């Protein structure tokens, strides 16, 4: 809704593009487990009265909350980092995929393109195989020009088809300084 | 240590029957309140008690009855929402109690059936059979209105309060080892669709 006209607009940065796509799709609930890369997005949605935003103890819990909200008519998104995603195989399989609930996940990708943590680099390798084996639609976001389009279309498809989906924020998008 | 102890503790509360208490609870629901039945025996007894369109039966995702109920409560603030969870399940997701206390939805009540065991996997003991007190944990997480039900009448009074007054509520009930007579059919998509229709979200 309204996304056709807003797609042509340019965004100053990736989190602005994400927020615009969330609003275009009436995604009002944002539940997160903190991450440094996600910080500007978290701060921006916290300042914006359109959104209900709160932190969770664990990513699994956040998926439960967003699934409950989706079944009751409120669209939401879960924000996390790669290591948090690695805790989600069971809830994705046995709740979101099994019951066909459109839980939308946004994962800040750690463990690649210059990470300093061996643990992050190793757990990162599990993310796409888990998404693939569960048949969950996922896209890696690398370019600011495509950011709004990717988030907008992914959320729209998730809700129209009643399926979970994941958006992976690559360092190419979030840490590359060539933009702006 | 001299500190304020609640009058009813886990030790002095009556051991009751989960199916009986579930029936007492659903009998009080007159306004299409939502009920999330936790994985295993909590939702099997909910299925046995009454097949309401506003019931959601969890067939997986152990520990997430309270978070799912929180999501429903946020989406529909005018509807009262109950989570029915077992002690083993709740022990998996204790952090969710802190989240619920912080978000403080007025329309949410969590009921924990505490039989001190992982009943469905062979009756292995949970930590609540030895030392852990889930009501104390809920209170420590910040859910001020947390208490053990002393007996069946007390349980019904607590449910009545949760239906009328602002939550969040946490109600602990010690339960016996009786196993469910029937089980919920394993049809997750049908369960979700029925629940969404029951909440007025899905029209088709």
- Quick check: ipTM above 0.85? yes
Q: Is residue B72 a contact partner of residue B120, using CB atoms and an 8 Å limit?
A: no
Interface test with B, best of A65, A74, A92 (most B CBs within 10 A): A65
Q: Report whether the peptide linkage leading into residue B168 is cis, meaning its omega lies within 30 degrees of zero.
A: yes
Is A34's Cβ below 8 Å from some Cβ in B? Answer: no
The confidence score (pLDDT) of residue A1 equals 46
- Check B99 against A57: CB less than 8 A apart: yes
Q: Degrees (nearest 5) of the Cα angle A11, A13, A18?
A: 75
Task: Count Cβ atoms below 10 Å from residue A156 Cβ, excluding itself.
Answer: 17
Chain B residue numbers touching A159 (CB-CB < 8 A):
none
Tell whether B142 is within 8 A of chain A (Cβ): no
A residues 99-118 closer than 8 Å to B (CB): 99-101
Closest residue of B to A94, CA-based? B60
Whether B195 has its CB under 8 Å from any CB of chain A: the answer is: yes
B54 contacts B26 by C-beta, under 8 angstroms: no
Q: pLDDT tens across B117-165, in order?
A: 999 999 999 999 999 999 999 999 999 999 999 999 999 999 999 999 9
Q: Pairing relation of β-strands B55-57 and A52-55? A: unpaired
Q: Which residues pair with B148 in a beta bridge?
A: B172
Residue B84 to chain A, least CA–CA distance (Å): 14
pLDDT digits (tens, 9 = 90+) for A29-48: 999 999 999 999 999 999 99
Please give the structure tokens belonging to residue B99.
């989240």
Q: Which of A56, A61, A67 to mutate to test the interface with B (most CBs of B within 10 A)?
A: A61
Q: Which of A27, A30, A68 to mutate to test the interface with B (most CBs of B within 10 A)?
A: A68
Q: Tell me the pTM.
A: 0.96
pLDDT for the residue numbered A6: 57
Chain centroid, CA A111 distance in Å: 17
The pLDDT tens digits for B11-24 are 999 999 999 999 99
């Amino acid at each position: 809704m309204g996304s056709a006209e807003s797609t042509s607009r340019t965004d100053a940065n990736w989190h602005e593009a994400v927020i615009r796509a969330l609003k275009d799709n009436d995604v009002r609930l944002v539940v997160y487990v903190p991450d440094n890369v996600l910080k500007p997005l978290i701060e921006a949605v916290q300042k914006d009265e359109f959104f209900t935003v709160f932190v969770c103890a664990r990513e699994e819990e956040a998926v439960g909350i967003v699934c409950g909200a989706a079944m009751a008519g409120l669209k939401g998104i879960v924000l996390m980092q790669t290591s948090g995603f690695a805790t989600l195989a069971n809830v994705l399989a046995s709740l979101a995929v099994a019951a066909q609930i459109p839980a939308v996940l946004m994962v800040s990708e750690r463990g690649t393109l210059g990470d300093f943590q061996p643990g992050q680099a190793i757990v990162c390798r599990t993310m796409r195989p888990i998404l693939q084996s569960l048949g969950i639609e996922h896209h890696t976001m690398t370019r600011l020009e495509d950011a709004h389009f990717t988030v907008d279309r992914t959320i729209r498809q998730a809700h129209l088809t009643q399926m979970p989906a994941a958006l992976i924020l690559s360092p190419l998008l979030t840490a590359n300084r060539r933009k702006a | 240590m001299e500190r304020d102890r609640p009058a009813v503790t886990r030790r002095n509360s009556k051991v009751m029957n989960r199916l009986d208490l579930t029936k007492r609870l659903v009998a009080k629901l007159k306004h299409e309140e939502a009920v999330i039945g936790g994985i295993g025996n909590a939702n099997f007894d909910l299925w046995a008690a009454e097949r309401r369109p506003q019931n959601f039966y969890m067939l997986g995702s152990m520990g997430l009855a309270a978070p799912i109920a929180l999501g429903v409560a946020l989406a529909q603030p005018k509807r009262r929402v109950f989570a029915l969870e077992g002690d083993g399940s709740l022990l998996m997701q204790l952090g969710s109690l802190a989240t619920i206390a912080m978000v403080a939805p007025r329309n949410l009540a969590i009921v924990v059936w505490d039989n001190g065991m992982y009943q469905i996997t062979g009756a292995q003991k949970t930590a609540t059979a030895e030392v852990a007190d889930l009501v104390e944990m809920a209170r420590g997480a910040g859910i001020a209105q947390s208490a053990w039900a002393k007996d069946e009448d007390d349980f019904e009074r607590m449910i009545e309060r949760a239906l009328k007054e602002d939550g969040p509520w946490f109600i602990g009930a010690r339960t016996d080892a009786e196993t469910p007579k029937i089980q919920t059919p394993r049809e997750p998509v049908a369960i979700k669709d029925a629940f969404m229709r029951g909440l007025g979200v899905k029209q088709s």
